[in-house]
Structure 1
Amino acid sequence: MGTTACRADRARLGKCWDILMGADLSVASPLLSILETVLYARDLVATEEFYRRVLGLQPIAVVPGRHVFFRCGEQMLLIFNPEATRHPPKPGALPVPPHGMEGEGHVCFRVTADDLDVWRSKLPELGVEIEADFEWPKGGHSIYFRDPAGNCLELAEARIWGIS
């Protein structure tokens, strides 16, 4: 990109440009962790049953036709019906902005190496096809499979990301 184009982009984007170009953000408070992960599914009944039966997660909040929420360790897995969350909230409701997604999402659940061996046997017994099962080049193993909505689910050792 030419110098003139860069200057024009910087003028147009302002602070966003600084962030994109690596400006010092040390004045911001550090992020502690990911609190929520969101997937989308139109058939929440089938999806809730799958996450209960196959993954052993228990729902902590359910609004039929809108969402089912699960706790997983210290994080939350939120599954929304995309049709129910695309519209602005109704008067009097919490002002959560509209959101939604088309297509399959992805989430990875952290497991130990020993537990991965158990899952490798358990998933087929529960009628769940393992789509991929492999060792990462720098260490750690992953197993991939799908939920009823087609979301890509992964079980993996944390060491695939250098986390112990």
Structure 2
Amino acid sequence: MTPGPPPVARILETALYVADLARSEAFYGQVFGFRTMTGDDRMRALSVPGRGVLLLFQRGGSVEPGTTPFGEIPAHDGHGALHLAFAIPAGSLESWLAHLAAMDILIESRLDWPQGATSVYFRDPDEHSLEIVTPGLWPNDQDRPG
């Protein structure tokens, strides 16, 4: 019998490919409060609470391998509208709705799931689909009620 795969602790990085790094960096800073940890002319690394990292890459800026003093980063790129969901604390949905309204961000959709979670969808400047979701959407959510 072969053993299963070694454990994975969590997703560390998630990447989006954007048309304008400064615009996207400002958007994610203003809407979510994410702070820039590092960056250059092709990418920004934003700190997401809970030890996560949102990487913003200049669209087309990483189609060749990237050389660093530590080694080579393989080429990558992406096109089209992608989706990210951000967990928000229980009880913060109304504050989030007010925050988004104050920023003139259009709510595209709201779903009240049968298991008790609520999802709210909107777009970033590159038309990526963003979701904020209260606890309980997925069975493996450690903040899931009950």
Q: TM-score category by the smaller chain?
A: 0.7 to 0.9
1:84 aligned counterpart, secondary structure: coil
2:84 aligned counterpart, secondary structure: strand
1:141 to 115, 118, 138: 118
What is aligned with 2:73? 96
Show structure 2 runs of 5+ residues with no match.
none
1:71 to 44, 47, 72: 47
Deviation per residue, 1:92-142 (Å, 9 max, x gap): 673111111110111111102311111111101111111111201332001
Structure 1 or 2: more helix by fraction: 1
**Partners of 1:158 and 1:34 in 2: CA distance:** 18
Contact kept in structure 1, 2:90 and 2:135, CA below 8 Å: no
**Partners of 1:105 and 1:67 in 2: CA distance:** 17
Structure 1 or 2: more strand by fraction: 2
Query: Greater CA radius of gyration, 1 or 2?
Result: 1
Query: In the TM superposition, what is the alpha-carbon distance from 1:89 to its structure 2 partner?
Result: 2.4
Provide TM-score, normalisation by structure 2.
0.87
Q: How many corresponding residue pairs?
A: 140
The CA RMSD over aligned residues, in Å, is: 1.8
Identical residues among aligned pairs (%)? 30
**Partners of 1:112 and 1:55 in 2: CA distance:** 13
Provide TM-score, normalisation by structure 1.
0.78
Deviation per residue, 1:53-101 (Å, 9 max, x gap): 121111111212x111111121111111131111122486731111111
